[in-house]
Structure 1
């Protein structure tokens, strides 16, 4: 990119923090935006943010996505080359209990970022989606051209809507847009509501862990630094008019595509727990539970499209990635 300036929503979040760190290291000027909401302990978000604010070329604005006109004003003032929209109300299970927060953040908030991009078009608009959009699909690995019309959670439904909303803006206003679908991201500074954090905390405290579907689950666990590498490479891969192959999700009517970012190999939940046991030196007491509403049995990313676009991404071994998380967690827990 000739001008390395990026606007990141959700910059104090798990993925946003890692992406901002990497882009600052690579010489980008970064403006972060985050609401620092209490969905999980704000102290974790504040700690991430303090690390970013100690660095040059990082600017920050606190605010809510859904506040009308705020993002349009900030983006018009900052004039980024790339916008990366990561902020959202996350969590499959929480969407059952608090669906309105998903409407506010994921639908109204995303509309605000699209309006901001319409008013001050970036060279590339990048927005987060999720593997949850594949919903009730049973054919795996999941490919970007597979239908995503049967969501199993309201969270997934809002993300399908985000993809449709972004496509319409890409078509109407010629905004080059890439939606990336994440697959079970984990690593240091991860969210407390995710399995790696919950399992590690319980195991170190000598408490039982809840293992859903009696452990018969698979996830395409993706180490956060591998994911960030994919986002960074994709930032310079602007959707055009020529597909790279039959697996390309490039729209026939807009500069728009969806891209999976996953490790490309599912891991049994039991193997993931064993990796935590090895890293902690403790044995987990498993509380076997039925499948939760809205959850899926397995996820597995087809990685052919992203590899065709940006080359093969690093794939951190699950044991190495889990050890990095556990080492970070011990340090965080000792504070």
Structure 2
């Protein structure tokens, strides 16, 4: 199978460009000589300093253009699409986090439903060649069957965040069916790495261990996650941009992929990897399972292997070492201050 490489003559529109995955994807595209239009509202769900630091990296590239705006602002979005001949859209903007959706549901409906609908409308009316969008392993909810397959029914979300991501997939199916918009959904599995989100457990664990403070271990540590290193996520997305089978499917140009490491790690083993990288033992406080959390995530990735010859393979030890080295350089030395 011959895979197409990224076409650097095309214009790529990346929403959530100041986010964790959005920054890394934009950087990879820019390194390949592509023009990237970034879009982000820079909300304060977590410290904006980190988002600005990511943007500083992207702003070093001549072919990067940034718009600070919200996806809910349809008029602004329309102007961006009218002013630029956007070929590929990668929608990574969303209100993230499972637990926050319990406290602030409105933010999820506005960003993940209303904003996402606006993206679909732009793709429909401006004849975008391909829409790739972030879904989540959260859509599998309390599914007992493992590994999680895209063939499984996902009708039992256990958080509003998961429900919005499932809604995104359904909305994409409708636009692919009615208007033949090629859509590829990306169910990401617990992404981690340098410049990651501070609300993620591995980030707060690293900070607490280095500071000699206790960490909260939920479900007494009896949980499993398919942790996926950021470089593997980006490799998968890059391959799917030009090689997704939706691009040749005229009947229903719609497909969903799991992008996960295909190797769930026990939470306590994950913590041990952080301890080894930091060189210090964690002070653990054990708590019961939190509302909206699931016991295990485990990605079945045979479609990814078959269609684009790719399977994530970064070990948890290598990935955590890279993150901790970044953390020590950027945060411990005060190059980047995160509250």
| 1:86 counterpart (86, 92, 98) | 92
| Number of residue pairs aligned between Structure 1 and Structure 2 | 327
Counterpart of 1:111 in structure 2 is 117
User: Moved runs in structure 1, 4+ residues, more than 4 A?
Assistant: none
CA distance in structure 1 between the partners assigned to 2:295 and 2:122 by the alignment: 37
> Could you say what secondary structure the match of 1:150 adopts?
coil
CA distance in structure 1 between the partners assigned to 2:100 and 2:292 by the alignment: 10
Counterpart of 2:57 in structure 1 is 51
Q: Does 1:65 align with 2:71?
A: yes
CA contact (8 A) 2:246 2:255 kept: no
CA contact (8 A) 2:12 2:34 kept: yes
| 1:274 counterpart (272, 275, 281) | 272
> Could you say what secondary structure the match of 1:69 adopts?
helix
CA distance in structure 1 between the partners assigned to 2:87 and 2:246 by the alignment: 17
| 2:167 counterpart (161, 174, 198) | 161
Which structure 1 segments of 5+ residues have no match? 243-249
Counterpart of 1:286 in structure 2 is 284
Which structure 2 segments of 5+ residues have no match? 1-5, 335-339
Counterpart of 1:181 in structure 2 is 187
| 1:303 counterpart (297, 301, 304) | 301
CA 1:240–1:87 in structure 2 vs 1: closer, same or farther (change >3 Å)? closer
CA contact (8 A) 2:210 2:278 kept: yes
Q: Does 1:218 align with 2:216?
A: no
> Could you say what secondary structure the match of 2:74 adopts?
coil
Q: Does 1:98 align with 2:96?
A: no
CA contact (8 A) 2:236 2:310 kept: no
CA contact (8 A) 1:218 1:268 kept: yes
Counterpart of 1:323 in structure 2 is 321
TM-score by length of 2: 0.94
Q: Does 1:126 align with 2:132?
A: yes
CA distance in structure 1 between the partners assigned to 2:42 and 2:49 by the alignment: 9
Q: Displacement of 1:332 after TM fit? A: 2.0
CA 1:23–1:91 in structure 2 vs 1: closer, same or farther (change >3 Å)? same
Counterpart of 1:12 in structure 2 is 18
| 2:141 counterpart (130, 135, 139) | 135
CA 1:172–1:69 in structure 2 vs 1: closer, same or farther (change >3 Å)? farther
Counterpart of 1:245 in structure 2 is none
